[in-house]
A and B are shown apart, each in its own frame.
Chain A
Amino acid sequence: MLPKISPILEVKQLVVSYHSGGGNGHLRNDTLAVRDISFSVNPGESLAIVGESGSGKTSILMAILGFIQPAAGKIYFMGEDIRQLSSAEMIELRHWIQPVFQDSGASLNPRMTIGSILYEALRVFNVDDNRKEFIQKLLTQIGLEDGILSRYSYQLSGGQKQRVNLARAMIGKPKLIILDEPFAAQDISNQANFVNLLLNLRRDFNLNYLIVSHNLSVIAPLVDRILVIRSGQYVEEGPVAEIIFHTTNEYTKTLIDAVG
């Protein structure tokens, strides 16, 4: 019998709801954004969560990162129940689990140079290596030039901002990188560059990705499995080839047809 692999990330029956109204005598209105979603990411594996806008994809990521409290369900990261962690333990956990947000420009402080942004992350993550060497090596791996360190975010192109965000996420030497719609604001040639970059980094650093996207075609070469959700509910999950070429689900077929 094969030994059981313990997953890096395990999400069990996750429920996320948002409240609105409730003031001035109005009825309180609860919207269920995520309903009973379960999945796991095993070591060496990457997973994509796919669905249309408003299907609850980002809410799942926010719950995993601890930015919102889920209404129900469990989230285990390397065996630890993250909902039971203290805030100090949560900070420690963020070394291993790093997000790259959808709006790459809004994630960079406009008053700081790219150099200060990256050195700040080095301080936060207590990286002991020779800092200058570390940053230079990282920039080469990400495909950015040294000159970028003295520039501000507004002086960068969309593709460069995205790479800086990825570089910052890589500083803590994470196990899992969470990417929220990484290709949404990019043109097709930048998408091609970024997919290749992510794939090389995954291979060189043994990274796991959890990617949220509405675009099946771009994420297909990048992940091992796909989870399809619709209106916060599970539709289907399976290996990439299985989902793309052999699905019988009508909704998944609609997503695939939208590619052509």
Chain B
Amino acid sequence: MAVDILVVKDLSLTLNDIVFFKDISFSLKLGRTLTIIGETGCGKSLLCKSLVGLQPPGFKLAGSILFYRDCSQAVEVTTATERTMSTIRGSQIGFVFQEATASFNPLLSCGQQILHVLRSQNTGSKATLKQKTLALLEWVGFADARRLYRCYPHQLSGGMAQRLSLALALAGGPQILIADEPSYALDSVAKKEYLRLIKDLCIKNNLSLILVTHDIQEAFSYSDDILVLYAGCPAEILNNPPKKVIPSHPYTQALLDIAKAFQNFKLPQPIPGEAPAITAPPQGCRFHPRCHRAQPICRESYPGKRDLGSNHFVWCFFPNVVKQ
């Protein structure tokens, strides 16, 4: 049985009356992949940043995030000092940002960017650190690592920038890798290759991965556990989903139907309306204005967590409980 490395309980992020996300609970196990899916603006990125204490200043983070450093010593992220967190970020929890090019220093060559991280973590001779940098560049798929070492970020294509950003995240030797829509700016071919690379590196190094995406097919192909978010609230959690999963929440089902239609080159049935603004969410279940199963109770009350068994949880009054 794999050990827990990150345990999140009843996490919420608020600013005055605005709730950016709430009720978030999950546990990430060593060497496993958790995918967070949801539409743009549902709070995925804010959640990831909050996991490493990088929520915007003034925002109130409540609940608990327990990070098991080296699988033993527990650190409570929500109350940890900035000093403690700065020793965790980069070296224990690596981050691949959505916009890779914005996470580089444009004045440093690609090799120097990585050296910079290595120097802050290790004490090794100049030659050893350079060797390590070249090895990292090769790891992330750069065949000509020596040439890339001297290149500057502006000389890279989108796909190369993403791979460099992965090398930077791995340079600190983290236990957890958080990848926030890492394939966002890539074309379909590059996207598939890049996700495969991340997954392979995580398996090889026994890393735990938190992958954020809006692509449900991607989630099912690459993860062990799935958390579906809608407008800052959890909709469904699937642990160890079987290959042919039947989601219970109408939102997850709608996303999966769209993805399947696209995969078969067919016209998808859209979800009516748009996701609500986080500043003005609807009363009751946040998905009810777009839901074909909505009943009066969905407008009035917020649905609580329902356990469907086999580590499957759903936040819906009328879930689809058909099981494969």
Residues of A within 8 A of B (CB): 52-54, 157-160, 184, 186-193, 195-196, 199, 214-218, 220-221, 240, 244, 254-255, 257-260
Please, which residues of chain B bring their CB within 8 A of the CB of A54? 157
Whether a CB of chain A sits under 8 angstroms from the CB of B310 is no
Given contacts A188-B215, A192-B258, A258-B188, contact A157 B157 (CB under 8 A): no
Please, which residues of chain B bring their CB within 8 A of the CB of A259? 188, 262-263, 265
Are A188's CB and B255's CB within 8 A? Answer: yes
Name 23 interchain pairs, CB-CB below 8 A, sorted by A: A52-B189, A159-B274, A187-B214, A188-B214, A188-B258, A188-B259, A189-B254, A189-B258, A189-B271, A190-B39, A192-B262, A193-B270, A195-B270, A196-B267, A196-B268, A199-B267, A214-B188, A216-B188, A218-B262, A220-B265, A221-B267, A254-B189, A259-B262
Given contacts A53-B157, A215-B188, A258-B191, contact A221 B266 (CB under 8 A): yes
- For B256, the closest partner residue in chain A by CB is A188
Please, which residues of chain B bring their CB within 8 A of the CB of A193? 270-271, 274
Please, which residues of chain A bring their CB within 8 A of the CB of B254? 189
**Which one, B191, B263, B271, contacts A217 given CB within 8 A?**
B263
- For B41, the closest partner residue in chain A by CB is A157
**Which one, A159, A186, A188, A217, contacts B216 given CB within 8 A?**
A188
Q: Between A and B, how many residue pairs show CB distances below 8 Å?
A: 94
Whether a CB of chain A sits under 8 angstroms from the CB of B17 is no
* Chain B interface mostly: loop
Determine which residue in A54, A160, A187 has the highest number of CB atoms from chain B within 10 A of its CB, and name it: A187
Are A255's CB and B188's CB within 8 A? Answer: yes
Bound form: Cα–Cα A54–B190 in Å: 12
Whether a CB of chain A sits under 8 angstroms from the CB of B241 is no
Are B265's CB and A221's CB within 8 A? Answer: yes
Are B262's CB and A258's CB within 8 A? Answer: no
Whether a CB of chain A sits under 8 angstroms from the CB of B40 is yes
Bound form: Cα–Cα A218–B259 in Å: 10
Whether a CB of chain A sits under 8 angstroms from the CB of B187 is yes
Please, which residues of chain A bring their CB within 8 A of the CB of B192? 257-258
Given contacts A188-B259, A188-B262, A259-B262, contact A53 B187 (CB under 8 A): yes
The 8 closest A-B pairs by CB, nearest first: A214-B187, A187-B214, A258-B188, A220-B265, A221-B267, A192-B270, A192-B268, A217-B262
Please, which residues of chain B bring their CB within 8 A of the CB of A196? 267-268, 270
Are A52's CB and B259's CB within 8 A? Answer: no
Are B274's CB and A52's CB within 8 A? Answer: no
- For B269, the closest partner residue in chain A by CB is A192
Please, which residues of chain A bring their CB within 8 A of the CB of B275? 157, 189
**Which one, A157, A158, A214, A217, contacts B265 given CB within 8 A?**
A217
Residues of B within 8 A of A (CB): 39-41, 157-159, 185-192, 214-217, 254-255, 258-259, 261-263, 265-271, 274-275, 277
**Which one, B190, B216, B274, contacts A157 given CB within 8 A?**
B274
Bound form: Cα–Cα A244–B255 in Å: 23
Please, which residues of chain B bring their CB within 8 A of the CB of A184? 185
Bound form: Cα–Cα A195–B195 in Å: 26
Please, which residues of chain B bring their CB within 8 A of the CB of A195? 267-268, 270
Please, which residues of chain B bring their CB within 8 A of the CB of A218? 262
Bound form: Cα–Cα A192–B39 in Å: 12
Given contacts A158-B40, A220-B265, A260-B263, contact A189 B188 (CB under 8 A): no
Least Cβ–Cβ distance between B193 and chain A, in angstroms: 9
Least Cβ–Cβ distance between A144 and chain B, in angstroms: 10
Determine which residue in A52, A190, A217 has the highest number of CB atoms from chain B within 10 A of its CB, and name it: A217
Please, which residues of chain A bring their CB within 8 A of the CB of B191? 258
Are A53's CB and B40's CB within 8 A? Answer: no
Known contacts A53-B157, A220-B266, A258-B189; 7 further A-B pairs (Cβ under 8 A): A52-B187, A187-B40, A187-B214, A193-B270, A195-B270, A215-B188, A255-B189
Given contacts A52-B187, A53-B187, A218-B262, contact A189 B267 (CB under 8 A): no
Please, which residues of chain A bring their CB within 8 A of the CB of B255? 188-189
Bound form: Cα–Cα A109–B252 in Å: 36
Please, which residues of chain A bring their CB within 8 A of the CB of B189? 52, 214, 254-255, 258
Bound form: Cα–Cα A193–B262 in Å: 12
Please, which residues of chain A bring their CB within 8 A of the CB of B269? 192
Please, which residues of chain B bring their CB within 8 A of the CB of A221? 265-268
Bound form: Cα–Cα A52–B215 in Å: 19
Bound form: Cα–Cα A217–B255 in Å: 15
Bound form: Cα–Cα A123–B188 in Å: 40
